[in-house]
Structure 1
């Protein structure tokens, strides 16, 4: 009897015994090939698939030319979109193969698993998960009581269930399957699962009893409609339960009283990475990229795989020749033969690639694992698939701005002077405000101006759930972001929250939300008397003022609030700087730094923001001197007076006095003689060593250039040196940690220079023959104007500027 006759007889016998139960392993290419062969042989009248029945209306989309797996059915609760579940399908998933076969042969196809309306209700709120599967642990359980594949592998003498599955199922030759009984694999697997169910019961999946009861009810309904010529594609674990003889009443009793929620469902793109087990998907696999290759390779899978690996390594500028590919294939086949395997598997190909193409290194092997073994494939869904209005608006925006979602992380640099880049920036900032983390700001390259931005983009399937959640705020990205910003402004209790929100609204260009945010900001600022809160809030407002011209945003109201905050800080800060412990003083020192920078930005805000762009690119976008202007006249002087108070009061913490002195010196509001006098007083013998060390940290620690200040100012270095050598031995260990923290922050070259200067020690007067009287060689007491003028032409050349004639500055 021929193989075809044997197959036909087996199919006839199977249908005579009842519906055709095709037990599979989810996402297994061998199972997928076996399902296709069985369906071709059986030609069932209907195909039933393990999955949520709400997806029946979406099944025809699987035949759409735009549909490209991996994809997933996404179900979410209408009233709580965060309560969601996915049913992923890859090209090599048996369920996907069955769906495509049914649509291609015009055979009815349906889902028969527990409806999403029940499964979502059984989940915890915001329990975004993939759908339960035979290999997955039961919800609420740390690990499953039994892993069917592992038990079968151990029974066969394998220590690796994946290797056993590959040998028994995945490495079955398609040519051999064509002549063998197409149902034989399913018969054998059903017998094995029956034995396991008898031994382990539900296997640690108590909810499976409810799911299987619903599937049996659906199977009865299909048999009434189509007769026994029905094929069921489900997890092999469920086959014994579906074949069991039960009454309709008993099955309905199991379903009685199940909670329900209103649910919606659609197709969404998925990724190979999210199919992997390490992603948290319990029914996942270790190597979706490898399995996809096995399913798609019509012949010579090992040779084709090695060619892919060689191509990837060549793209990364590694030398891989054709000889490497040939040798790797031979080694993989040899390893398979030595290990008694029917075909070289992933472990053999990996060992061969490591030895031949990677020269024994695991570094390039990690790249192969990430790019090929797991893979970064992102599926596609047709435009006709149902979606929430917000998702459709986001999709339109992505296409208009040519921002295609990609699974692989991508760097994006934006120039906000260009309309397209500015629109991209607005979209990404609006999505961040909505909690849709497609893009994250990154450090820019080559510019610190306000007209440049850098982003890291990476699209994950879970973002579709975030979009559905954000859909409650509006039907477009702009209206949704506006509504959420207004809601957050009204709900905010801390001033810093509102100031941060105002900055985000400016970045996202939400003019309709700004009035509400500004009113909330003014109200919180008027009620908050804590100078620390005011100091934390001011920097965000000052940064926001820099965006006005570049982003075409009116920041007048924001500037008024910021100037008012700065005035209140100037009044309240001096009393707040007394009576502080070490931690409180350090925190307030950081706030003083922030306020100092913010006030500099507020004063600079009177100059168009475009001037900064002109300074960097020579083509600013400023529209006039009124745009971005701030009512900050005289604010810098008032702040300078506050710093003088802080620097001169003995009751102020040492670290704050030192920082105030340094800020005044840097701005030219304090002469070098005055700074040396204040340091001398702070380091006088009557000052406790810990207070003196704190003053030093405030003066030369933390800020950039602190070490160079000591290098170039001999008097300050001499004062620190003299104080340090005079610290008593019994208190030196108390101040050492503070000093070490201060000086360890300097660049190695600065520390080396300081050490050399201290090692040399002061030079006695008269020992120098250059006519100077300063102590350290190599540094003068003041600015050498002639040497400074000699540098100026080089600076103009580097900056591309035309030197200003001397008469123009006279």
Structure 2
């Protein structure tokens, strides 16, 4: 039988003339299995693969023991690393299977697509043309785009030029076969197809179908495909001359998108192909391998050649037999990890249901649709909530590839990798939360690294609120490593070869180029968090210069809180903050001087914004430490407190704001509230200010704004009204006296004020209003609750005292007189 099989393969190879064109669907497990079988049968002398030729030098790394897909070829312009492209490969990608087959059999591998140097330049031209800009001519202009783009879907190619639409060949073939779902047709036609007796026959059928599509739709109206195919033909001719045809031994096998097979089989003239390549722009490009993820292979991620279910396709490629049974077993394992009750009986029943659905739907085998329907009905009890978990973890998946250490990389990437290993902070594709205790050396170093990367624009981690705690020594991050971050690292490489050097240079450059004071203030805080002592002097000089020139109180107020926060809490990291203290106190002094006139004559939006500034400055001044132990502030009082220090001057500012009629009501109300919370209002002064603000001569809208400033927000405003019945009575009396015509204008302001309270506070406040504040704050009204009087009946309440004394076991009092029955006690 072995001799017979060898004779059949020899006959098949002898029947082939010219290159062996294996048209595939990118990231298709059926195509991958077919490519492996075809290569085993044909045994070519060289394998040509659709991809950038600059990657020929990187092919050997695909056989490295540390290389694990999914991975991608990353190409970026040397002068502009942000102009980049990816060529992703998964374990079930036909190109990856062809590479591994060639390396395993000692066969040369070469890439034949348009070089990345041209692709990047052409992409920049197209981007400029789409933006309505002039078409870039020189190479350096052609590479000047920002951001990244991914390699185009070379198999799902363009539509008719006349219609300007992209045509999906798989969708067209599925529609011709009577399917409304291209993925379902692909599974039935390819994935569920048994092993063919002739391994080359399926590719001949695909080539025939694509030839008909190309005759119908042409090149799709995109000249880039024409240029790419011309270059592939030239590379194919060169390889054919070197390795000959299959009939002569060896031969050439080409693995490319099925759409390109008719173009590669055509007999185009060499001169015509060279003419298409003439004048194509070019940039200097570098290539390397980078890890990729299944999520980035998904179509929802924006990748042009993406698939809907990379995790499912990976399972189909890896499962040796019984793919449905093995898949549903994975589903059961995942649900058990999430504490859902799933037994082996559930798996058995789900498999039976999936197979029954396949028979009812006329499918050769159960596919993804049937397994999902079966899992929803049997394992998820009809709920889509656990099904979403299955989709996220298994159908899409969170696999992250690995790349050997000796793969080419920019120096900054190598330093980052060393730091990640030293800190035991492994990049992961799955989003996870990280809590750091800054008192621990390793956690503090992790925090420093993440802050430095954030400063460089490498968003590996995002700060979060984290678990509830009152300490300032904790940080919480949400980490998620995306392949695009490799491009960000390459971009940041222009600032330095290490993370520390690059972050320092980036901070210094940002400080020099910053135009707003708040930008420099935020940068100073970032430098402190990222532990950049060399950059801090440059940033502090820029901060002092901007603060001296900026006269806008709003800008000063925005800049102050960040400085105050770090002056109060920065010592957790052991950073010297003396220089920041001087700048912060100078800013606070200027705010105290300029705030009262800046609050006059503001409209509603400006007043609301200024109210936020007042809150921020109040908090910041409370955090600012004294100028020094025993240091005199210039007026005989200590700079950190007392009536003469900065807090005393700020209290005087708030007093001016609270009593000045030209200041908007929301700011006057907020100033009065801050004074009340700080214990700087005399007894009854808050009620006097509220009475003035709510007097009949005050327009209802202004009065509502004052109330919003005084008790608005979540900072205890509701509880203040609950416990101070006198203030509540003033509000209640004012509210009931608003004219009917003015009430609709006041209602939105009041709703915004009181809706911010916690539900329990609103409920308590409503109960107090219902029964009416005590102490004679307002006239008693008849209760609307049956059986209850408007107030407390003291005589009847006293009647229960003897009984309570008896129940508590205390000395029994004298028996009550007969009058006690009528509410009188003896």
Q: CA deviation at 1:764?
A: 7.1
1:247-274 per-residue CA deviation (whole Å, 9 max, x = no partner) reads: 2111111100000000000000000111
Q: Which residue does 1:9 correspond to in 2?
A: 11
Indicate conservation of the 8 Å contact 1:661/1:675, yes or no: yes
Match of 2:481 among 453, 456, 459: 459
Match of 2:375 among 338, 341, 353: 353
Within 2, Cα distance between the matches of 1:294 and 1:748? 52
Within 1, Cα distance between the matches of 2:496 and 2:544? 27
Q: CA deviation at 1:733?
A: 2.5
Q: Which residue does 2:229 correspond to in 1?
A: 212
What RMSD over aligned residues (CA atoms) do the two structures have, in Å? Answer: 2.2
Equivalences for residues 382-781 of structure 1 within 5 A: 382-603=404-625, 632=640, 634-761=645-772, 763=774
Q: Which residue does 2:96 correspond to in 1?
A: 96
Indicate conservation of the 8 Å contact 1:24/1:31, yes or no: yes
Within 1, Cα distance between the matches of 2:443 and 2:615? 33
Q: CA deviation at 1:595?
A: 0.3
Within 2, Cα distance between the matches of 1:204 and 1:546? 63
Q: Which residue does 2:239 correspond to in 1?
A: 222
Runs of 5+ consecutive residues of structure 2 not aligned to the other structure: 125-144, 246-250, 630-637, 781-789, 794-826
Q: Does residue 338 of structure 1 match 2:360? A: yes
Indicate conservation of the 8 Å contact 1:144/1:205, yes or no: no
Q: Does residue 160 of structure 1 match 2:181? A: yes
Q: Which residue does 1:123 correspond to in 2?
A: 123
Equivalences for residues 77-92 of structure 1 within 5 A: 77-92=77-92
Q: CA deviation at 1:605?
A: 8.9
Within 1, Cα distance between the matches of 2:627 and 2:485? 38
Indicate conservation of the 8 Å contact 1:757/1:776, yes or no: no
Indicate conservation of the 8 Å contact 2:155/2:258, yes or no: no
Distance 1:704 1:137, change over 3 A: farther
Within 2, Cα distance between the matches of 1:268 and 1:237? 27
Indicate conservation of the 8 Å contact 2:37/2:199, yes or no: yes
Indicate conservation of the 8 Å contact 2:35/2:97, yes or no: yes
Match of 1:262 among 264, 284, 298: 284
Distance 1:707 1:47, change over 3 A: same
Indicate conservation of the 8 Å contact 2:410/2:490, yes or no: yes
Within 2, Cα distance between the matches of 1:416 and 1:739? 43
- 3-state secondary structure, aligned to 1:719: helix
Within 1, Cα distance between the matches of 2:157 and 2:521? 45
Q: Does residue 181 of structure 1 match 2:191? A: no
Within 1, Cα distance between the matches of 2:301 and 2:157? 14
Q: Does residue 191 of structure 1 match 2:208? A: yes
Q: CA deviation at 1:70?
A: 0.3
TM-score, normalization by structure 1: 0.89
Q: CA deviation at 1:343?
A: 1.4
1:616-671 per-residue CA deviation (whole Å, 9 max, x = no partner) reads: xxxxxxxxxxxxxx965611111111111111222221111111111111011112
- 3-state secondary structure, aligned to 2:624: helix
1:424-448 per-residue CA deviation (whole Å, 9 max, x = no partner) reads: 0011111111111110001121214
Within 2, Cα distance between the matches of 1:214 and 1:489? 47
Within 1, Cα distance between the matches of 2:757 and 2:14? 84
- 3-state secondary structure, aligned to 1:85: strand
Q: CA deviation at 1:502?
A: 0.7
Q: Does residue 108 of structure 1 match 2:108? A: yes
**What count of residue pairs does the alignment treat as equivalent?**
744
Q: Which residue does 2:127 correspond to in 1?
A: none
Distance 1:691 1:157, change over 3 A: closer
Q: CA deviation at 1:750?
A: 2.1
Within 2, Cα distance between the matches of 1:675 and 1:56? 79
Equivalences for residues 364-379 of structure 1 within 5 A: 364-379=386-401
- 3-state secondary structure, aligned to 1:447: coil
Q: CA deviation at 1:29?
A: 0.7
Indicate conservation of the 8 Å contact 1:19/1:231, yes or no: yes
Q: CA deviation at 1:515?
A: 0.5
1:371-422 per-residue CA deviation (whole Å, 9 max, x = no partner) reads: 1111100000000100001100111111111111111000000000001000
Within 1, Cα distance between the matches of 2:259 and 2:685? 84
Q: CA deviation at 1:736?
A: 2.1
Tell me whether 367-376 or 595-604 shows the greater mean CA deviation.
595-604
Q: CA deviation at 1:63?
A: 0.4
Tell me whether 598-607 or 219-228 shows the greater mean CA deviation.
598-607
Distance 1:452 1:138, change over 3 A: farther
Indicate conservation of the 8 Å contact 2:627/2:639, yes or no: no
Within 2, Cα distance between the matches of 1:446 and 1:140? 58
Q: Does residue 292 of structure 1 match 2:314? A: yes
Equivalences for residues 141-152 of structure 1 within 5 A: 144-152=165-173
Tell me whether 680-689 or 382-391 shows the greater mean CA deviation.
680-689
Within 1, Cα distance between the matches of 2:255 and 2:29? 14
Within 2, Cα distance between the matches of 1:776 and 1:70? 75
Within 2, Cα distance between the matches of 1:18 and 1:464? 40
Indicate conservation of the 8 Å contact 1:63/1:103, yes or no: yes
Within 1, Cα distance between the matches of 2:551 and 2:749? 32
Runs of 5+ consecutive residues of structure 1 not aligned to the other structure: 608-629, 769-774, 779-810
1:272-311 per-residue CA deviation (whole Å, 9 max, x = no partner) reads: 1111111111211111111111110111111111111111
Q: Which residue does 2:809 correspond to in 1?
A: none
Within 1, Cα distance between the matches of 2:152 and 2:165? 12
- 3-state secondary structure, aligned to 2:305: coil
Q: CA deviation at 1:4?
A: 5.3
Within 2, Cα distance between the matches of 1:293 and 1:426? 40
Q: Which residue does 2:300 correspond to in 1?
A: 278
Distance 1:490 1:588, change over 3 A: same
- 3-state secondary structure, aligned to 1:267: strand
- 3-state secondary structure, aligned to 2:188: helix
Indicate conservation of the 8 Å contact 1:603/1:635, yes or no: no
Q: CA deviation at 1:182?
A: 1.2
Within 2, Cα distance between the matches of 1:143 and 1:439? 41
Q: CA deviation at 1:765?
A: 6.3
Q: Which residue does 2:191 correspond to in 1?
A: 170
Indicate conservation of the 8 Å contact 1:288/1:375, yes or no: yes
Tell me whether 745-754 or 155-164 shows the greater mean CA deviation.
745-754
Q: Which residue does 1:614 correspond to in 2?
A: none
Distance 1:676 1:428, change over 3 A: same
Q: Which residue does 1:621 correspond to in 2?
A: none
- 3-state secondary structure, aligned to 2:534: coil
Q: CA deviation at 1:550?
A: 0.6
Q: CA deviation at 1:3?
A: 5.9
Within 2, Cα distance between the matches of 1:687 and 1:154? 72
Distance 1:754 1:269, change over 3 A: same
Tell me whether 119-128 or 563-572 shows the greater mean CA deviation.
119-128
- 3-state secondary structure, aligned to 2:521: helix
